[in-house]
Amino acid sequence: MEQLGLEATHADVGLLALFWQAGFVVKIVMLGLIAASVWTWAIVIEKIIAYNKERRAYNQFEDAFWSGTSLEKLYSNLSDRKTSGMAAVFVSAMREWKKSFERGARAPMGLQMRVEKAMDVAIQREAEKLEARLGFLASVGSAAPFIGLFGTVVGIMTSFQAIAGSKSTNLAVVAPGIAEALLATAIGLVAAIPAVVAYNKFSADSGKLEGRMEGFADEFSSILSRQIDEKLQSRPAAE
């Protein structure tokens, strides 16, 4: 009989048993944290794939850009495609450059500012794509422990209510409430820790990619500045 009692007690403290025995509020807390954890890992996997793809695209574009191919030819190859990262910055700058010359631009400073503005807008747009859903990771990382703590408080309150109802401090009376409280805390940490680590990692990766875009924009701005000067100086002679 004693062995059967021990087995029953062991079964009652299993994870699934603790979940089903938990109160309604604690169950909602646990389910919310589990859902947040699942979504966190989905974002982690998506970001790993996306950032690796972006790095390859950046490297391929830099190889093509510095290979000696003319800007016109490179723009012609990329203008009809869906671009991202450096390629998107390049296309936006070339598009503004060509439009300005088609309209007969004669002010180098104004043209240079418009091209740089077009690149800044493109960089901001690409940065928003890189940082998409990182806010969710930050929110989970900061809020999940406190949400788990809320479940913990509710579970402990359940234990005290059980003590008051039974008028006994027997371990069998308080154990279920304490166990579900600790389970809520554990789930909160399981959700929060990967979210914090992933947010820090992806924020750093995003910053590096944005830095590469900004560095390319500065270099390309210098190249376009020379091109603009040459075109504007040669136009009167051509006319």
User: In terms of Cα–Cα distance, which of 94, 98, 88, 97 is closest to 121?
Assistant: 88
Is 79 within the bounds of a domain? yes
At 173 the pLDDT is 63
Is 3 within the bounds of a domain? no
Q: What angle do CA 59, 60, 64 make, to 5 degrees?
A: 115
Residue 41's domain is classified under what CATH number? 1.20.1270
| 81 three-state secondary structure | coil
At 239 the pLDDT is 44
**Per-residue pLDDT for the chain (239 aa), expressed as one digit of tens each?**
334 344 444 445 566 777 777 778 888 999 999 999 999 999 999 999 999 999 999 999 999 999 888 888 999 889 888 888 999 999 999 888 888 766 655 556 677 888 889 999 999 999 999 999 999 999 999 999 999 999 888 888 877 777 777 666 666 667 777 777 888 899 999 999 999 999 999 999 999 999 999 999 999 988 888 877 776 666 554 44
Terminal Cα-to-Cα distance of the chain (whole angstroms): 107
Is 123 within the bounds of a domain? yes
Q: What domain range is 191 assigned to?
A: 23-238
Is 4 within the bounds of a domain? no
Which positions ≥6 away from 129 have C-beta within 8 Å? 84
Q: In the chain, how many domains are there? A: 1
Is 2 within the bounds of a domain? no
Is 191 within the bounds of a domain? yes
Residue type for position 225: S
Gyration radius (Cα) of the chain, Å: 30
How far is 146 from 184, CA to CA, in rounded Å? 10
At 168 the pLDDT is 64
At 124 the pLDDT is 96
At 167 the pLDDT is 67
User: In terms of Cα–Cα distance, which of 199, 187, 192, 190 is closest to 141?
Assistant: 192
How far is 24 from 4, CA to CA, in rounded Å? 29
HSE-up (13 A, CA, CB side) for residue 48:
7
Is 9 within the bounds of a domain? no
Is 69 within the bounds of a domain? yes
